[in-house]
Structure 1
Amino acid sequence: MPSAAEFTEAPDSAAERTRRWRPAVGTGIGNALEWYDWNIYAVFTPFFAPQFFPSADPASALMATLAIFAVGFLMRPLGGLLFGWLGDRRGRRSAMITSVALASAGSLVIGLAPTYAAIGVGASLLLLVTRMAQGLAHGGELPAAQTYVSEMAPHGRRGRWSSLIYVSGTCGIVAGEVLGAVLAGVLSADQLASWGWRVPFVVGGVIGLYALVMRMRMAETEVFARQRVAQDRPSLWRDFWHHRTACLRVVGITLGGTVVYYTWVVSAPARAIAVNGFDAEATLWVSVLANLVFIAVLPAFGILSDRLGRRPVMLAAYAGLLVLTLPLNWLIQDHVWQLGLAMTIGMLFVAASASILPTVCAEMFPARVRTIGVALPYALAVAACGGSAPYLQTWLSDNGMGNVFLFYTMALLLVAIVVTCRMPETRDVELT
């Protein structure tokens, strides 16, 4: 992980160090919460699905819960639109405060929600509404956070600062998986299914309250402050349309990356438990180790992009994933170590693109339209291909068409390669 010297510029006092670190901490904790929340939903799906849907048919309950996971993503474009407008008109800080408040409230609601046995279909509807609200919040959280970090970063170091987004997010994922592994080790399967699954959601809600306080104490970026006082600002929608090519680039480089990310980083452990029958505790610990490797290499790829450029790093990542999609999936057979090896290799290549995606997207737009310019196309891409990936993979596999999903992933990665080849290098762009 980047050292303190890389995120600061030799502050003269403790007060100055606090002023410079507070934005990084506030952004990181809130971002980690989002990723923690979506990951624990995926990881604990096999345990709480019967609590929100009829338990007589576990397979149907699992599919219904995964469908709600996908529906939550359908709210992300609306969230990107709402919070993108808020971020570009009222400030990055305002968007980040509102999104983390809504997300943490949703975690608490799920953790304390009554079950299907208690209120019938009302439990299913409550889960659906809550996940839709969280999807709305998360649609604006990541773009606002990555815009904030990119604008706070010193020129020439945006790549390494950009890695903070996925470092903090993956820390949230690891925290959820460690908690899941601990719970799987100390609780029986019946205890996990009856009440143990509630623990991570309640913990997420409490963490969210802390993140809210931290973000309320953060300062706005100087880049936004300068453009806010400009006398001549065009219509947000006219400006958005003017940068439509950049918006399409965001979609193009996001589609393949989001599918492989949700396949390998988010849903692989839950799928291994539910479909391959792997031991839950061992699977989660293997996933934790793979994610620790992922965290360790993220800043390295960010620094590499600051030296070599964004395009070469992203091209290597997408090309590697394209070549390895089939072999890595065929590697997973009957042993947990095979899952761990496949996840680690896949996540190394995912890290190369993910570490710099936030700054690559931010560097495409001027400040006055930067948040919504990233938020809306990014959310559309993730809603279309990211949130649906676990459901689509499960459905195709259950119907004997597992390889169709693999070729679908490869096609999206090919799109990302073409778009990356055609986009300009943005490493030396001045953010204005």
Structure 2
Amino acid sequence: MATTSSQTVVQTSSKTPRRARDLVAVNIGNAIEWFDWNVYAIFAPFFAAQIFRAQDPVSALLATLAIFAVGFLMRPIGGWVFGLIADRKGRRFSLTLAILLAAVGSLIIAVAPTFDQAGVWASAVLLLARLIQGLSHGGETGSAFTYLAEIAPSDKRGLWASTPWIGVALGTMLATGLGVLLTSVLDQQEMSAFGWRIPFVVGALLGLYGLFLRFKMAESEVFEANKEEGHGLSLRDTWRVLVQNRRAVLNIAILSVSGVVIFYTWFIFAPSYATRVHGVPASDALLAGLLGQAVFLFAVPFAGALSDRIGRRPMVFAYTIGFAVLAFPLEWIMGPSGLRVFISMAIASLILALCCAPLGAIFTELVPTRVRATVVGITYGGFSAIFGGSAPYLNTWLSSIGLHNLFIGFTILLCLLTLVVCLRLPETKGLKMD
């Protein structure tokens, strides 16, 4: 018995560094994915008139944001396809393939022709690249949440499953920081002529590094232990599985919608909005956005660890109440200075962290192992596509016709829906993964 216990301790201790390395590999890759995804939104004002007709800048920007939204339509398909791959071939294989496609999408945008060079074919190339990235991004999210929750120590699952959001923050901050650098070095004409291509080249190169890291990852032991029970879903079985897990699907869907709308509104789109509506210089707005995103970066692991102590539900509850109360005040704080942009983004980031941090653990704890990546990927990817992908476009359009307050009311309504689900949600902290 003593020998067996000793062997168990040695095996467990030897697994800890391996798990930690895999956690880092997933999140570096996740950061690269989010860099690839978000440079589009950040640099859209600079390349919109290059890809579409330049005569009407607002129309060109709306068309660019429409393709941003269309890219989201591939996310549920990506969640489905990569979920099937993850539940059949393993989480590691799915994550490696996802980052490869993200890099390919960035490379296509980096070399895309302009409207003057190719006419409408320029927008077709841009659309193709975003569809590829949307497919990849939909696969990344479900697989990353699933993998990290499965390799995490049971008493730290909330913390470990929150770390993809650190990758989100790092990738977005890298994209925003590059925007600060480029807009400081290059003038508006240079940014529109060639500067906007630079971040997409960087994204393609970073993708190669992420690919190397993920090749070295180990497979999830939970997946290995359960893969004999089934070899993943066939296409015709997917709908049946979603119906069988409809309560989990509904919970994941409603928990997702308010968070993704607020995330893309305050975490990604806010600097661009401040420049266009409040006249904040682009470099100042991007710097303020970078600092606001840093607040989220540091808040997420604390919120994840807190969810392991007090549970998942109290965190989501605090987020829904907090943002519903502060939605309009945050808009009033934002104004024609970088400082005001930072303060509003920092407060929004703190509240958003309360929601985002426990979501990975909640999602994976609601779904059984053999279909986990598929259900989480399809549901989260689908509702992110519908609500997150349309948020920048809807915000821009409503603002252009003087109805921005209607968009704020929409975010409050989504928070209240999340609150209703949170009140009925079972507490999943400490649940055994099966």
Common fold by TM > 0.5: yes
Q: SS of the counterpart of 1:190?
A: helix
CA gap of 1:17–1:88, structure 2 versus 1, over 3 A, is closer
Deviates more, 1:280-289 or 1:15-24: 15-24
Q: Does 1:58 align with 2:54?
A: no
Counting only pairs closer than 5 Å after superposition, residues 170-181 of structure 1 correspond to structure 2 as: 170-181=169-180
In the alignment, the residues of structure 2 paired with residue 388 and residue 429 of structure 1 have an alpha-carbon distance, to the nearest angstrom, of 35
Which residue of 2 is the match for residue 383 of structure 1? 385
In the alignment, the residues of structure 1 paired with residue 310 and residue 388 of structure 2 have an alpha-carbon distance, to the nearest angstrom, of 29
CA gap of 1:373–1:190, structure 2 versus 1, over 3 A, is same
In the alignment, the residues of structure 1 paired with residue 195 and residue 277 of structure 2 have an alpha-carbon distance, to the nearest angstrom, of 21
- Aligned sequence identity (%): 43
Instruction: Note the C-alpha offset of 1:25.
Output: 2.2
Q: Does 1:258 align with 2:260?
A: yes
Instruction: Note the C-alpha offset of 1:58.
Output: 1.3
Q: SS of the counterpart of 1:113?
A: coil
In the alignment, the residues of structure 2 paired with residue 118 and residue 84 of structure 1 have an alpha-carbon distance, to the nearest angstrom, of 39
- Asked whether the equivalents of residues 79 and 135 of structure 1 are also in contact (C-alpha less than 8 Å), the reply is yes
Counting only pairs closer than 5 Å after superposition, residues 234-253 of structure 1 correspond to structure 2 as: 237-253=239-255
In the alignment, the residues of structure 2 paired with residue 311 and residue 227 of structure 1 have an alpha-carbon distance, to the nearest angstrom, of 28
In the alignment, the residues of structure 1 paired with residue 254 and residue 13 of structure 2 have an alpha-carbon distance, to the nearest angstrom, of 43
Which residue of 2 is the match for residue 309 of structure 1? 311
- Asked whether the equivalents of residues 88 and 231 of structure 2 are also in contact (C-alpha less than 8 Å), the reply is no
- Asked whether the equivalents of residues 22 and 214 of structure 1 are also in contact (C-alpha less than 8 Å), the reply is no
1:295-346 C-alpha deviation (Å, 9 max, x unpaired): 1111111111100000001100111011111111122232221111111001
Counting only pairs closer than 5 Å after superposition, residues 11-410 of structure 1 correspond to structure 2 as: 19-230=18-229, 237-410=239-412
Q: SS of the counterpart of 2:278?
A: coil
Q: What is the aligned residue count? A: 424
- Asked whether the equivalents of residues 87 and 232 of structure 2 are also in contact (C-alpha less than 8 Å), the reply is no
In the alignment, the residues of structure 2 paired with residue 238 and residue 43 of structure 1 have an alpha-carbon distance, to the nearest angstrom, of 39
In the alignment, the residues of structure 1 paired with residue 179 and residue 91 of structure 2 have an alpha-carbon distance, to the nearest angstrom, of 33
Q: Which amino acid in the other structure matches residue 212 of structure 2?
A: V
In the alignment, the residues of structure 1 paired with residue 100 and residue 31 of structure 2 have an alpha-carbon distance, to the nearest angstrom, of 14
CA gap of 1:175–1:239, structure 2 versus 1, over 3 A, is same
**TM-score, structure 2 length as denominator?**
0.94
Instruction: Note the C-alpha offset of 1:276.
Output: 2.2
1:186-234 C-alpha deviation (Å, 9 max, x unpaired): 1111111111111111101111111111111111100000111237989
Instruction: Note the C-alpha offset of 1:95.
Output: 1.2
1:32-52 C-alpha deviation (Å, 9 max, x unpaired): 122112221111111011111
In the alignment, the residues of structure 1 paired with residue 241 and residue 399 of structure 2 have an alpha-carbon distance, to the nearest angstrom, of 43
Instruction: Note the C-alpha offset of 1:13.
Output: 12
1:266-319 C-alpha deviation (Å, 9 max, x unpaired): 111111122322111111111111111111111111111100000001100111
Q: Which amino acid in the other structure matches residue 109 of structure 1?
A: I
- Asked whether the equivalents of residues 11 and 17 of structure 1 are also in contact (C-alpha less than 8 Å), the reply is no
In the alignment, the residues of structure 2 paired with residue 245 and residue 405 of structure 1 have an alpha-carbon distance, to the nearest angstrom, of 29
Instruction: Note the C-alpha offset of 1:162.
Output: 1.6
Which blocks of at least 5 consecutive residues in structure 2 are unaligned?
Answer: 1-7
In the alignment, the residues of structure 2 paired with residue 161 and residue 79 of structure 1 have an alpha-carbon distance, to the nearest angstrom, of 23
- Asked whether the equivalents of residues 46 and 274 of structure 1 are also in contact (C-alpha less than 8 Å), the reply is no
- Note the aligned Cα RMSD (angstroms): 2.0
CA gap of 1:426–1:83, structure 2 versus 1, over 3 A, is same
Q: Which amino acid in the other structure matches residue 419 of structure 1?
A: V
- Asked whether the equivalents of residues 40 and 176 of structure 1 are also in contact (C-alpha less than 8 Å), the reply is yes
- Asked whether the equivalents of residues 50 and 61 of structure 1 are also in contact (C-alpha less than 8 Å), the reply is yes
Q: Which amino acid in the other structure matches residue 50 of structure 2?
A: Q
CA gap of 1:232–1:95, structure 2 versus 1, over 3 A, is closer
